[in-house]
Amino acid sequence: MKSFKLKNLVLVLSLFFGMPVYAQQIPTGTPIKIDMILAISQNIGGFLFTLGSILAVITIIVSGIMYFLVGANPQKVGTAKGILKAGIIGTLIIFSAGVIIATIQNFATDPFGFFGGGGGISPYCDVNGECVGGPNGGNFCQYDSDC
């Protein structure tokens, strides 16, 4: 028994210390940027959103067909109603997830403009007839809408 343990110990130690190590340089390539990660996640999310929407619509259609075909069997009518309910709940979850993601994305890209503020002052026409702010800043104006 001792010789068996000793043989196993020698084997394990030879695996760790007796093997040559061939170090390699870390491969270089294109660095991963946050824009790339966002683009990939948007593509995956768009695909899953489309797939989920299609499956939800198919589920609702199948439940409607089942409801018409079951006749007077109350158990099968209950099954068809349950499938319809699950399809509607799934559709609501999919679309609400899309709304939540779009809201977070809009807030992340423009946090000051998210609530309609834009982060600055609205352009206006001052007492000297000059536009302050906006694309026509510094030009002559009569009304705030001219700016």
CA dist., res. 89 & res. 30, Å (int):
43
Total domains in the chain come to 1
**Domain interval for residue 47:** 35-107
pLDDT tens, residue by residue, 30-76: 888 888 887 888 888 889 889 998 999 999 999 999 999 988 888 99
Give the predicted TM-score (pTM) of the model. Answer: 0.51
pLDDT tens, residue by residue, 88-135: 998 999 889 878 887 887 777 766 666 665 555 677 778 788 888 777
Q: Is 19 part of any domain?
A: no
What is residue 39's three-state secondary structure? helix
Mean pLDDT of the chain: 80
CA dist., res. 7 & res. 18, Å (int):
15
Q: Is 139 part of any domain?
A: no
